[in-house]
Structure 1
């Protein structure tokens, strides 16, 4: 039964839809009511779909977005980390391909004096999920009770786990609805979705990693900057010290896309090695997190990677959540290598197509309830700008199911360009901009 039929609700949802359809600003009371009523089931999915489309087409003011975000937070509980004897800080990435940065980042920041309570998610489509990656470690648990989360955080300085169902439950309903109604791309709805969860998470400081490029949600720098500015404003208005980096997702991060493959690469970084771009972004984000948490200058994150203290935190964090940091990671039963067709310079490697290939190999899912393969994914042997020789490996595909390989190969058709030797590809820098 909707509100109009019940006669007991303070507003009529059709009036709210019409107002936003006609470019009006929604008053605070209407925003509070419609978010709460949708969570309670009073506003029907088709009605919220119409409102979401009106928001997509006509936008929202900063006041409306802030109130919408606050209303979504108010449908659940706020977490409290006051029992942790360190300043708390968190990072959120808008998602990409090969984005395993949380894995080395959280223990690195913890090794430098801040506490990192990281509530993460699972992958959907071509973008990977932090929890899926960590679950490739034998025994590791994503689901922790609040007491368990606090215990791991106190003992190690970092915890990475799943958010409870009572954290901004309105967002969970609305996120699923947007996914099937063509309203995913709305910046007000993206920003409020991310920030409602992050503010409810209760950290005092937040760094946003807003990806831009083919493998990201935001394909161009202008829209990525708009999203970053909107989220920074939401965090600031809510009393959370917030900054954002715009980072390049035109090509995958690191040399792996897939669950266990990315864990292995993250461990390389924690051991003082690993691909240059993963190390660079880990250190840059860690410095930002320490700065906004008031811990800047206590210890440099690059030193924590070099001297083994970040690795020590990683091992304790994994063990604290039931995992075995010494266990062998799963290996795929089948591999297929794609060779360079000519001599030259690798001019580009499209992040989106690599992500789709990893997804088709079994590393990702098409629906939230689908399982993933721990060992599936893509290993990249070279990065854009590298010299390649005809017949040398470019990409190796990993899967447990050989029938998946051809569709992954098809996804990579046109994904890479080999230019004449000596040419210099025009690449975005790794960190494109900073918003504060």
Structure 2
């Protein structure tokens, strides 16, 4: 098949609104992974896909070709049902941190391959690296051994899993094609299917702080991913959840770890607890453990025990103090009233300006930097009360963050209408 196609022919087919054949997809993915299709050619194809779309069978074959570009982990040595969770990314979204040990404490094994933050959305690995000694990289044997011994592992995906996706993801980021739903769905699902999990729960974010701004977009993405999971034998369900306001009070790295520990200790913000429990119940149901009550595992300390074992297994010290920021600026309310809304996107960009995020993949991130909200939508507020704190390691980072966050908190004279956190279930 090596001489059967050229990259230009494949690009023209999609540019003109045609349907790519299985052989075309297999060829272009293999050739791109091997370096025989140039980045500029794959960029043109990605843009054609963004503009022309893909059919269901095309997306399924594209995903299968990305999985076939590398290895597929075999988790059959793990003697518990395996189930994973993936979030499409949001502001203050630290749910993976309490959720992974909680589901493991209820009898499942959670093979959580996570990523790093880019732009205004935070990365799970960046958050965990706030813990002294913790390491993100595990070999396949270490990963499987930790799933057997602890029941939970949060780590970086190995270089052998869907290498075509790694190349294509970097390309999409710099060519304005990140938003293409077929490419988002295949990127997420190729990695999750390749990691070998038996079941998967998707948290598809909707709103200003999410990549999907409308429920219609999010629903299309969720349906596409649920169908892809089913086609590859992975039981998959999705929740559409609200990301118009940040999750919890903490937006950053170390401060999100601290908030996650509050949840594991039986406290924490109500929205973080609500979403953690909702996703835990979906994961346990998908794993065939629907009789387990995750709330009990939080109350009796089992989830915290698994957290400590998981952190220790990856070289971290669960008792070490988290880093603190030397520079703190408080922003106060100018009038009495109620917090009507907090713009998730603006607060995410402010945290990025403070050093909590990165503009390029190679940029370092600051562990103590971020935004700490002191009020949530629906809270009453008096003039002069603190609305939020900006935290940074360098004082010069505060003014640009203040400019980004200005106007992000809206105060009105009447309490806002409650918005549901879980909008819809698909699957």
Corresponding residue for residue 178 of structure 2: 184
Which one of the candidate residues 20, 30, 34 is aligned to 2:28? 34
Q: How does 1:58-73 map to 2 (within 5 A)?
A: 58-73=52-67
> Is contact 2:339-2:415 (8 Å) kept?
no
Corresponding residue for residue 354 of structure 1: 347
What CA deviation, in whole Å up to 9, does each residue of 1:6-35 have, x standing for no partner?
x96220111111111111111101000001
Which one of the candidate residues 155, 159, 163 is aligned to 1:161? 155
Matched, 1:364 2:343: no
Which one of the candidate residues 288, 291, 295 is aligned to 1:294? 288
Aligned residues: 427
CA–CA distance in structure 2, aligned partners of residues 216 and 435 of structure 1: 18
Corresponding residue for residue 332 of structure 2: 339
* RMSD over aligned Cα atoms: 0.9
Deviates more, 1:9-18 or 1:84-93: 9-18
Residue 310 of structure 1 deviates from its aligned partner by 0.4
Corresponding residue for residue 4 of structure 1: none
Corresponding residue for residue 430 of structure 1: 421
- Which segments of 5 or more consecutive residues in structure 2 lack a partner in the other structure? none
Matched, 1:402 2:395: yes
CA–CA distance in structure 1, aligned partners of residues 281 and 18 of structure 2: 42
Determine helix, strand or coil for the equivalent of 1:403: helix
Q: How does 1:33-432 map to 2 (within 5 A)?
A: 33-297=27-291, 299-420=292-413, 423-432=414-423
Corresponding residue for residue 3 of structure 1: none
CA–CA distance in structure 2, aligned partners of residues 186 and 271 of structure 1: 40
CA–CA distance in structure 2, aligned partners of residues 267 and 8 of structure 1: 53
* TM, length-normalised to structure 2: 0.99
Determine helix, strand or coil for the equivalent of 2:355: helix
CA–CA distance in structure 1, aligned partners of residues 149 and 103 of structure 2: 14
- Which segments of 5 or more consecutive residues in structure 1 lack a partner in the other structure? 1-6
Residue 155 of structure 1 deviates from its aligned partner by 1.3
CA–CA distance in structure 2, aligned partners of residues 412 and 154 of structure 1: 44
Residue 427 of structure 1 deviates from its aligned partner by 4.8
Determine helix, strand or coil for the equivalent of 2:398: helix
CA–CA distance in structure 2, aligned partners of residues 424 and 199 of structure 1: 44
CA–CA distance in structure 2, aligned partners of residues 13 and 380 of structure 1: 50
> Is contact 2:2-2:27 (8 Å) kept?
no
CA–CA distance in structure 2, aligned partners of residues 162 and 181 of structure 1: 24
Determine helix, strand or coil for the equivalent of 1:363: coil
CA–CA distance in structure 2, aligned partners of residues 252 and 144 of structure 1: 31
CA–CA distance in structure 1, aligned partners of residues 38 and 298 of structure 2: 50
CA–CA distance in structure 1, aligned partners of residues 334 and 190 of structure 2: 48
CA–CA distance in structure 1, aligned partners of residues 40 and 316 of structure 2: 43
CA–CA distance in structure 1, aligned partners of residues 174 and 183 of structure 2: 14
Determine helix, strand or coil for the equivalent of 1:257: strand
CA–CA distance in structure 2, aligned partners of residues 346 and 398 of structure 1: 21
Determine helix, strand or coil for the equivalent of 2:116: coil
Determine helix, strand or coil for the equivalent of 1:180: helix
Residue 199 of structure 1 deviates from its aligned partner by 0.5
What CA deviation, in whole Å up to 9, does each residue of 1:145-182 have, x standing for no partner?
11111221111110000101111000111111111111
